[in-house]
Amino acid sequence: MVVRGTLAIGTFTALLSYVTMFFSPVSQISQLWTAYKSALPAYDRIKEIFDLKQDYHGEDKLILGNGKVEFENVCFSYEIDRPILHEFNATFEKGLNYIVGDNGSGKSTILKLLCSLYNPDNGSIKINDQDISRINKKDLINNISIIFADPYLFDDSIYENIKIGNLSASKNDVIRAAKLVKIHKFVESLSDGYETQIGENGINLSSGEKQKIALARAILKNSSIILLDEVTKSIDKESRDSINEVIYNLKNEKTIIIVTHNNNEIVSDGNIVHLQQEQIESKFEKQVVIKHMSPERAII
């Protein structure tokens, strides 16, 4: 039309401009719709959190006494009809206690239940004859430390990562805890010492060094109950021996519960709880249930 002279070049240029102006918002709307659909799952998850009923935090103050921990007929499952623990009974005394068993038998679940991260479906968990469901959660957390196989460390200095165990601790307290877990010399050998930045989740440290920092954090917290979940699984022998020595030296002061697969780490005076899996038939499917096992003295 422009060539034939029936449409002016200015009108043609205006047409192209208007077409561009028209389709740009349409394109933006389509992108917004895609973003909206992507955000819906996140919104649903956030809504689930806001819809949760607030847990009962208990009112009683924890009285540690002899530090005895008891599980009485505890049943627990993450999903309906898939029980993890079934009428589980065990007693953990002050000193070294070990939980051994196959993968999936509920060893880590026991520690999480004791921390009140989950509530048992049935039965009770007691510390010094006090049901933890009645204990104030903040008081419970203050008296229990838990260290996992892969401890989480913050993208900060070594000093701050240890101090988080007790924010009111002094620098001398932090150094004292580091010396107890035998990491002080390593830290002093670094150019920035305790101010050395360890990177996200301790990426600049070895597995053994990360575990020692986590253990120093627990010692600084000075909790009466320490839970260790496969803490020596992925570290070198020197670090493993060092950590086991620290744990052994604490046995007269604290209740220590250790989840382990390594029978060589179990000391002769330790208290052992064996977990065994049993297949049972149901109208739904075969299920794995933890049999009732009582603690026994280790025979090495």
At 291, is the pLDDT very low, low, confident or very high (cuts 50, 70, 90)?
A: very low
- Asked, for residue 8, whether it belongs to a domain, the answer is yes
78 plus 155 within the same structural domain: yes
pTM value is: 0.71
45 plus 163 within the same structural domain: no
- Asked, for residue 40, whether it belongs to a domain, the answer is yes
33 plus 160 within the same structural domain: no
**How many domains would you assign to the chain?**
2
CB atoms within 10 A of CB 220: 23
**Residue range 193-198: mean pLDDT, rounded:** 92
**Residue range 212-227: mean pLDDT, rounded:** 91
81 plus 178 within the same structural domain: yes
Long-range contacts of 241-247 (CB under 8 A, 24+ apart): 242/181, 242/182, 242/208, 242/212, 243/181, 243/208, 243/211, 243/212, 243/215, 245/182, 246/180, 246/181, 246/182, 246/215, 246/219, 247/96
241 plus 104 within the same structural domain: yes
- Asked, for residue 185, whether it belongs to a domain, the answer is yes
- Asked, for residue 190, whether it belongs to a domain, the answer is yes
166 plus 90 within the same structural domain: yes
2 plus 126 within the same structural domain: no
Residues 157-195: tens digit of each pLDDT: 999 999 999 999 999 999 999 998 989 999 999 989 999
46 plus 73 within the same structural domain: no
In this predicted structure, the answer to whether residue 46 has a pLDDT above a threshold of 50 is yes
CA–CA separation, 210 and 139 (whole Å)? 27
Residues 203-219: tens digit of each pLDDT: 888 888 998 999 999 99
**What per-residue confidence (pLDDT) applies to 277?**
65
CA–CA separation, 33 and 42 (whole Å)? 15
190 plus 250 within the same structural domain: yes
CA–CA separation, 14 and 57 (whole Å)? 69
Domain that holds residue 48: 1-52
- Asked, for residue 92, whether it belongs to a domain, the answer is yes
- Asked, for residue 1, whether it belongs to a domain, the answer is yes
- Asked, for residue 60, whether it belongs to a domain, the answer is no
Look up residue 184 and give its two tokens. Answer: 């002080």
- Asked, for residue 199, whether it belongs to a domain, the answer is yes
For residues 94 and 102, the model is more confident at 94
Q: At what angle do helices 237-249 and 207-221 cross, to 10 degrees?
A: 10
Tell me the residue type at 1: M
Q: Please tell me the least confidently modeled range out of 37-46, 115-124, 236-245, 285-294.
A: 285-294
At 55, is the pLDDT very low, low, confident or very high (cuts 50, 70, 90)?
A: low
272 plus 174 within the same structural domain: yes
**Residue range 78-101: mean pLDDT, rounded:** 86
126 plus 212 within the same structural domain: yes
Q: Domain holding 115: CATH number? A: 3.40.50.300
96 plus 170 within the same structural domain: yes
